[in-house]
């Protein structure tokens, strides 16, 4: 089964008008015609700027880092899926471990956000992953299946339209990375869970999101169930990000 890979850059809370312009210009200058799908996810404050910088480019899609679970109303600070739609957003990261940890997002919140994104025609990149303690206690499979189960339950047949990202929390921003075999084993578990839920599972993309970089991308992306990467730190350096994109074939 040949799935077109996806490399998505999560800029997290980084950037400025000047830095964003330089980064996007460098990406556009070096990306050519990639063999994979590519997206960048800037902070919400910069969606308009990055949309304008990407205007006319077929090589890089615009993504967002979060979406509200509400459609509109008195939710100060939230950004709705229809607002993201106004900016031409194609992808949105949902349930990132940092939001689960710092903003107390639950599996239910994540499932509802997925539903909101899908209703606006935006592809959610749904993050699942275990902490170091959960990893050490042998609970990885239980945790990721529980997190994905809520999304499947609420979204039914529409779950075939999502992208899943496995991000072991212990490997985010730490420099630690799951070995290709470790990552593949969890991706296979997620694929099996999706197969039980939808006939589209073989076509769905499961990304790896734990400190993928220019040095380890090719080996990780060679695994049969790793269909791309959700890139953190390396996404802020054009040369590194472009090397990862080049490795995704």
What is the pTM (predicted TM-score) of this model? 0.97
At the topology level of CATH, where does 6-247 sit? TIM Barrel (3.20.20)
Q: Which of 96, 109, 135, 187 is catalytic?
A: 96
Question: Quick one: pLDDT at residue 195?
Answer: 97
Cα 99 to Cα 85: distance, rounded to the nearest angstrom: 21
One pLDDT digit (tens) per residue for the chain, 249 residues: 579 999 999 999 999 999 999 999 999 999 999 999 999 999 999 999 999 999 999 999 999 999 999 999 999 999 999 999 999 999 999 999 999 999 999 999 999 999 999 999 999 999 999 999 999 999 999 999 999 999 999 999 999 999 999 999 988 777 777 899 999 999 999 999 999 999 999 999 999 998 899 999 999 999 999 999 999 999 999 999 999 999 998
Place of tokens 């063999």: 35
Question: Quick one: pLDDT at residue 17?
Answer: 98
Structure tokens at 149: 């189960």
Question: Quick one: pLDDT at residue 167?
Answer: 95
**Segment (H or E) for 127:** strand 123-128
Q: Which residues of 116-149 are buried (b: 16+ CB within 10 A; e: fewer)?
A: bbbebebbbbbbbbbbeebbeeeebeebbbebbe
What 3-state DSSP class applies to 92?
A: strand
Cα 78 to Cα 173: distance, rounded to the nearest angstrom: 26
Residues facing 163 on adjacent strands: 125
Q: Which of 98, 105, 130, 167 is catalytic?
A: 167
Question: Quick one: pLDDT at residue 1?
Answer: 53
> Is 167 annotated in the active site?
yes
């Amino acid at each position: 089964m040949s799935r077109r890979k996806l490399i998505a850059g999560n800029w997290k809370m980084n950037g400025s008008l000047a830095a964003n312009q330089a980064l996007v210009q460098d990406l556009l200058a070096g990306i050519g015609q990639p063999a994979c799908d590519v997206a960048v996810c800037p902070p919400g404050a910069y969606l308009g700027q990055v949309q304008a910088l990407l205007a006319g480019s077929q090589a890089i899609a615009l993504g967002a880092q979060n979406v509200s679970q509400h459609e509109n109303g008195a939710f100060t600070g939230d950004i709705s899926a229809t607002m993201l739609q106004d900016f031409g957003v194609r992808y949105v990261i949902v349930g990132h471990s940092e939001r689960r940890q710092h903003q107390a997002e639950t599996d239910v919140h994540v499932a509802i956000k997925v539903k909101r994104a899908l209703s606006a025609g935006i592809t959610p990149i749904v993050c699942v992953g275990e902490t170091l303690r959960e990893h050490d206690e042998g609970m990885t499979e239980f945790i990721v299946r529980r997190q994905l189960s809520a999304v499947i339950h609420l979204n039914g047949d529409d779950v075939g339209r999502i992208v899943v990202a496995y991000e072991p929390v212990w490997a985010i921003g730490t420099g630690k990375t799951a070995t290709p075999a470790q990552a593949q084993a969890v991706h296979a578990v997620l694929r099996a869970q999706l197969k039980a839920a939808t006939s589209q599972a073989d076509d769905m993309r499961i990304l790896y999101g734990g400190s993928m970089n220019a040095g380890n991308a090719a080996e990780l992306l060679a695994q049969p169930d790793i269909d791309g990467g959700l890139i953190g730190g390396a996404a802020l350096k054009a040369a590194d990000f472009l090397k990862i994109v080049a490795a995704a074939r």
